[in-house]
């Protein structure tokens, strides 16, 4: 049977695709041009700027790793069991205004709450600290990872998973010995997406942990 379909070449869809890609790339090129050529300034290449970039990348990577470790079982459970409550709860951090998230963690970590007093007793302070930064980034980026990982688990081939159940293996062991190894590349992509989301966050950081870099320099 002869297969029908698009073989290549240029048509209206291809032209529209090229144009829309250009719409995405051109603003970035303008930013790079004006930032590095037209408005080039020594301050923009100072050590403080590169230290802030380093802090952003490292904290985002740590938060993405924490999200992967903590929330992978939840994503797997959502992919296998229908729960409207858990689905809704996992999306809440993405719908809350991010400055409110920062305020919430300030209250949680303050001495006015029992949990805040406990954190203070063991030397953990969310305000203007790397701990607060990572907590805020993890909270904000978790929904992105959960949804992405849930899609990965929902679309995977379940043959080996079902075989494990037939042998009486627990769900937790199947998750870490069968499911995650079989989907590690897709989960790594979901983790990187979570990291990108963390790197773009500012609202909660502005409230909770604004002066981390200056404190680290003291």
pLDDT score for 187: 95
**CB half-sphere exposure, 146, CA atoms < 13 A:** 22
The verdict on 144 and 49 lying in the same domain is yes
Q: Which among 137, 116, 147 is positioned nearest to 208, based on CA atoms?
A: 137
The verdict on 90 and 187 lying in the same domain is yes
Give pLDDT tens digits along the chain (218 positions).
455 555 666 788 889 999 999 999 998 898 888 877 777 777 666 777 777 778 888 889 999 999 999 999 999 999 998 888 888 888 888 888 878 888 888 888 888 888 888 888 888 877 777 888 888 889 989 999 999 999 999 999 988 899 988 988 999 999 999 999 999 999 999 999 999 988 887 766 766 666 664 444 43
Helix (H) or strand (E) holding 186: helix 184-199
Range of the domain at 176: 43-217
What size, in residues, is the chain?
Answer: 218
Q: What is the pTM of this model?
A: 0.77
pLDDT score for 6: 55
pLDDT score for 95: 82
pLDDT score for 44: 65
DSSP percent split of the chain into helix, strand, coil, nearest 5: 80, 0, 20
The verdict on 66 and 136 lying in the same domain is yes
**Residue 6 placed within a domain:** no
The verdict on 26 and 97 lying in the same domain is no
pLDDT score for 189: 95
CA distance 105 to 109: 6
Contact 161, 178 (CB under 8 A): yes
For 22-163, list the strands marked E by DSSP: none
**Total domains, the chain:** 2
pLDDT score for 217: 43
Helix (H, G, I), strand (E, B) or coil at 169: coil
The verdict on 47 and 33 lying in the same domain is no
CATH number at residue 179: 1.10.3720.10
pLDDT score for 185: 94
The verdict on 161 and 73 lying in the same domain is yes
Contact 72, 149 (CB under 8 A): yes
Helix (H) or strand (E) holding 126: none
């Amino acid at each position: 049977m002869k297969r029908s379909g698009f073989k290549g070449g240029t048509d209206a869809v291809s032209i529209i695709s090229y144009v829309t890609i250009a719409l995405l790339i051109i603003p970035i090129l303008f930013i790079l041009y004006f930032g590095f050529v037209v408005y080039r300034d020594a301050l923009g290449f100072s050590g403080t700027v590169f230290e802030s970039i380093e802090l952003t990348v490292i904290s985002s990577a740590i938060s993405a790793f924490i999200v992967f470790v903590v929330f992978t079982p939840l994503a797997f459970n959502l992919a296998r069991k229908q729960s409207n409550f858990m689905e809704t709860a996992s999306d809440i951090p993405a719908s809350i205004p991010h400055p409110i998230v920062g305020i919430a963690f300030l209250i949680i970590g303050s001495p006015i709450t029992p949990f805040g007093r406990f954190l203070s007793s063991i030397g953990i302070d969310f305000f203007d600290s790397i701990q607060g930064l990572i907590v805020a980034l993890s909270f904000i980026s978790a929904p992105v990872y959960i949804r992405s990982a849930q899609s990965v688990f929902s679309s995977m081939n379940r043959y080996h998973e079902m075989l494990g159940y037939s042998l009486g293996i627990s769900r937790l062991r199947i998750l870490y010995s069968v499911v995650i190894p079989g989907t590690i590349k897709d989960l790594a992509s979901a983790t990187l997406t979570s990291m990108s989301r963390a790197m773009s966050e500012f609202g909660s950081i502005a409230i909770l942990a604004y002066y981390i870099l200056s404190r680290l320099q003291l």
